[in-house]
Amino acid sequence: MNCIGVGFSDTLSNARVMRAFVNGKDVVVWRSTSGKLSAWENRCPHRGMRLSHGFVRGESLACMYHGWHYGVDAKCKYIPAHPDLEPPETIQIQRYSSFEKNGIIWVSDAQDAKAPMIADGLTPVRSLNIHCSANFVKNILAGFRSPSPDGDQIVFHVTDEQEDFMRVDVPKIKTALYFIFQNLPNSKCFLHVLAGGLCEAHAKKTISRGLEHLRRTAEKQFGEET
């Protein structure tokens, strides 16, 4: 996997912190007060505390346990127990690459991470937290049919599968959808869906209903098989 979409950009405001999982790695994603985005290993090297419980002070992320501050370069800037001490350069956290594209936050743990290959100009539709693995959802996604209130059906056709996303065409709404999966621990996943063009409220509602049906079906089948 190159990049993992970990959430919509607008769900992480300035000076806020979130937790994400990238290829099984526990990751903290945060935005400084001025809006700079960072993604790091989710662990303070002092006592191993998860930094996703921390808080933002200006351009630093502070650990919740002892308040050690780390700048956007992931180096320790301040140790509150010793206010006059300049922390050694060697105290620093493993950094990951992060990107923002199409209103999605993308993180990669690869050495040579490249921005996701997905097209520009897409619009967010919605996110779903699903209680089964991403692969399980992908397996039932191809050709999945969901009844629509007007008696018609919506059908998901997978037309492209890339490392970072899946393109899904839904004939009824005449716009391509882009599915972005993030695996979570304990066989769960996050699914973020974008639309190819402008997506009216009515179309969004139809897609949303189809996605909820997909989720229910996936979770039910997953429950039966495991």
Q: Which residues bind another protein (CB under 8 A)?
A: 25-26, 41-43, 45-50, 53, 62-67, 79-83, 85, 91
97 touches 110 (CB < 8 A): yes
- Least Å distance, CB 12 to another protein, is 20
60 touches 69 (CB < 8 A): yes
Q: Which of 174, 180, 179 is nearest to 203 (CA)?
A: 174
Side chain identity at residue 167, one-letter code: R
Cα angle 167, 116, 60 (rounded to 5 degrees) comes to: 130
- Give whichever of 89 and 225 is closer to another protein, judged by the CB atom: 89
Could you give the CA distance from residue 201 to residue 205 in angstroms, rounded to a whole number? 6
DSSP state of 119: P
- Least Å distance, CB 107 to another protein, is 14
- Give whichever of 82 and 202 is closer to another protein, judged by the CB atom: 82
Could you give the CA distance from residue 51 to residue 41 in angstroms, rounded to a whole number? 8
- Give whichever of 81 and 198 is closer to another protein, judged by the CB atom: 81
- Least Å distance, CB 59 to another protein, is 18
The rounded radius of gyration (Å) of the Cα atoms in the chain is 20
- Give whichever of 49 and 158 is closer to another protein, judged by the CB atom: 49
Give residues with Cβ within 8 angstroms of 223, minimum separation 6.
none
- Give whichever of 66 and 216 is closer to another protein, judged by the CB atom: 66
Could you give the CA distance from residue 201 to residue 187 in angstroms, rounded to a whole number? 32
- Least Å distance, CB 74 to another protein, is 14
- Least Å distance, CB 224 to another protein, is 29
- Give whichever of 47 and 205 is closer to another protein, judged by the CB atom: 47
- Least Å distance, CB 60 to another protein, is 14
